[in-house]
């Protein structure tokens, strides 16, 4: 359900939690804010629509109304300004997800740097494993020796020349770097899973009705 709403909207549900207590309550709906203007916020409701509507019934002030499409003019989106203007609700959700990844994990340059470091680590592991294979069981790998021995020897020679200044990955402890890169990738995957994929699946199911 696509809505425009005021700041008085009740878009959170769940019991109050006493200080020191735990809250295991899982909300049945979620309001995703996509855009705004001087008067209203525009968003998409996911989950149990009935519970959302019940929470915003019998109130004296304007809460929300359903709309068919996002306004095409005079609104601002909750996305990074460098991204293009969304052309649909789906694209607005995608770009908002992309903006969150940039805000919490890193921009494109950060992600490219991460990928470069991961490639370096895998490349180095593969080269060293291939070197061990060539040296220790050459009778089993004639094709590898013919095709890759000059590359392996050249790579290892360059490492001996440049030492710990061959790539930016060499400036960090390899174990700590691997854990950091892995964790950042997990964080990005969680954002995409819950902020984007789950929303797209819900919209597909809604449109199939």
pLDDT digit string (tens) for 105-115? 999 999 999 99
Q: Tell me: do 6 and 70 sit in the same domain.
A: yes
What are the angstrom distances between the C-alpha of 79 and each of 76, 102, 185, 189, 198?
A: 9, 10, 21, 19, 19
Which among 28, 49, 78 is the end of a domain? 78
Do 68 and 21 lie in a common domain? yes
Do both 49 and 115 map to the same domain? no
Range of the domain at 3: 1-78
Q: How many domains does the chain have?
A: 2
Coil/strand/helix, residue 184: helix
Both 118 and 74 in one domain: the answer is no
User: pTM of this prediction?
Assistant: 0.83
Residues 141 and 186 placed together within one structural domain of the fold:
yes
Q: What is the pLDDT of residues 141-192, one digit of tens each?
A: 999 999 999 999 999 999 999 988 889 999 999 999 999 999 999 999 999 9
């Amino acid at each position: 359900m696509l809505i425009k709403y005021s700041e008085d909207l009740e878009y959170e549900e769940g019991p109050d939690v006493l200080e020191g207590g735990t809250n295991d309550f899982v909300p049945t709906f979620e309001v995703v804010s996509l855009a705004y203007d001087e008067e209203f916020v525009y968003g998409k409701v996911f989950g149990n629509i009935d519970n959302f509507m019940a929470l915003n019934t019998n109130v004296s002030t304007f809460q929300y109304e359903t709309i068919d499409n996002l306004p095409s003019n005079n609104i601002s989106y909750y996305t990074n300004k460098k991204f293009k203007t969304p052309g649909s609700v789906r694209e607005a959700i995608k770009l908002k997800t992309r903006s969150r990844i940039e805000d919490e994990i890193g921009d494109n340059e950060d992600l490219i740097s991460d990928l470069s470091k991961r490639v370096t680590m895998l490349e180095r592991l593969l080269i060293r494993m291939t070197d061990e294979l060539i040296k220790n069981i050459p009778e089993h790998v004639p094709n590898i020796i013919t095709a890759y021995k000059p590359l392996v020897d050249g790579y290892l020679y360059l490492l001996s020349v440049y030492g710990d200044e061959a790539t930016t990955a060499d400036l960090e402890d390899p174990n700590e770097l691997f854990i950091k890169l892995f964790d950042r990738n997990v964080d990005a995957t969680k954002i995409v899973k819950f902020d984007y994929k789950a929303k797209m699946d819900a919209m597909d199911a809604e449109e199939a009705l």
